[in-house]
Amino acid sequence: MTKAEIQQIKQRFGIIGNNAGLARAIDIAIQVAPTDLSVLITGESGVGKESFPQIIHQYSRRKHGQYIAVNCGAIPEGTIDSELFGHEKGAFTGAIGERKGYFGEANGGTIFLDEVGELPLPTQARLLRVLESGEFIKVGSSKVEKTDVRIVAATNVNLRQAIADGRFREDLYYRLNTVPIQVPPLRERGEDVVLLFRKFASDFAEKYHMPAIQLTEDARQMLAAYSWPGNVRQLKNITEQISIIETNRDITAAILRNYLPEQDNVQHLPALSGKREKSFESEREILYQVLFDMRQDVTELKKLVHEIMTERGTHPAGTTGNNAAFYAQPPAMVPSSVEPDVPTIIRQPVKQPSPMDADIQDTEEYVEESLSLDEVEKEMIRKALEKHHGKRKSAAQDLNISERTLYRKIKEYGLD
């Protein structure tokens, strides 16, 4: 199509802008209009996708037929089938009469299914049958009916991701996506932002009987640089707000800044890799993970036991210096997310000196042979409570256990 023809279509359907992507979308709509192929229009919310089904309908052989626009996301799941395909009298509670449905009403015309990605899966199966054979069955009926309807769908949902998540049928996606039309977001349309602002300002000046607002050069630059997450719809709303509120009709960057929400740049940054929360399929995996964590922290745990023993003034007999055997490990507290199914204490077997411990210089005795792990755990809980002046919540956090587990241990060890 020539630029003059595209400009004529823009004027007819109220489309403003000189962006090449926008012109390409209009050209595809005109080329596919004379056919009966299904069209899927994609783009972010607020870009103006609703104009393209009307272009397709008006330039098709169905232009004298019915054109029905259906917002699939606004119809409750329990009534969507009745709205689209109709129902028989008595088909469900409240069905006091027969209903024809949109596919019956639009026979020979065009149906625009906006937000098609919100359709429930059973309705998607019915829609697929219409696309494949032109047949449908009313709710509560067994009679197959025929319809000759052109379907144009639109969505701001990533349908490929919805397919991967099991929320959208893959076969329906390929049926709808026979001819794709991508509408570019406003942030990619450059000077179109200023043109749209000027048009909206003129419309609101006429509507509210006041002089049109105008942008200074710094305001135009700010307008063009903004990301416009709400696209054309957001720009129109902001233009209307400024037209009504501001008494000064020359809008500077300082004034405009008050109406532009702060831009969230987090979504444009690369994702940061962090420690993922692990899920465990069995108690054995939990125990393995706890033991692995204990091994990593063995130096710190030994120091903690050493401090407790120093305070108690106890010394194990027969073990001295670097040759002392490590008789027991301090208790490992299991996270609250896995209790109470897993024991709170993992009892570690006696550890003999090994080359791996060469870097740990044990210069004093650590644990008496008669000292049980229960006693060590009791002492750790007592010290945590003293440290936090009896505040159980803080003590539980310090011990890395839940408050419920701490309460049980306090009662068990008589630390009330």
| Whether pLDDT at 357 is above 70 | no
The per-residue pLDDT for 97 is: 86
What is the number of residues in the chain? 416
- Between 306 and 329, where is the model more confident? 306
Average pLDDT over residues 253-280: 59
pLDDT at 362: 45
The overall average pLDDT reported for the chain is: 81
CA gap 20, 50 in Å, rounded: 19
Whether residue 384 is predicted with pLDDT greater than 70 in this model: the reply is: yes
> Each residue of 171-219: pLDDT tens digit?
999 999 999 999 999 999 989 999 999 999 999 999 999 999 999 999 9
Return d(Cα 94, Cα 250) in angstroms, integer: 57
Report pLDDT for 104. 94
89-104 pLDDT, tens digit per residue, is 888 888 888 889 999 9
User: In this predicted model, what pLDDT tens digit does every residue of 289-322 receive, in sequence order?
Assistant: 656 566 666 767 677 777 777 776 655 444 444 4
CA 189/CA 272 separation, integer angstroms: 30
Indicate the angle between helix axes 20-32 and 3-13, nearest 10 degrees: 90
Domains of the chain: 3-184 (3.40.50.300), 187-263 (1.10.8.60), 283-413 (no CATH)
Percent of the chain with pLDDT over 90: 57
The pLDDT value given to residue 322: 45
Whole-number Å distance between alpha carbons of 257 and 266:
20
pLDDT tens digits along 242-265: 999 999 999 999 999 999 987 654
In this prediction, what percent of the chain has a pLDDT beyond 70? 75
Per-residue pLDDT, 297 = 65
For residue 295, the model assigns a pLDDT of: 64
Residue 397's pLDDT is what? Answer: 83
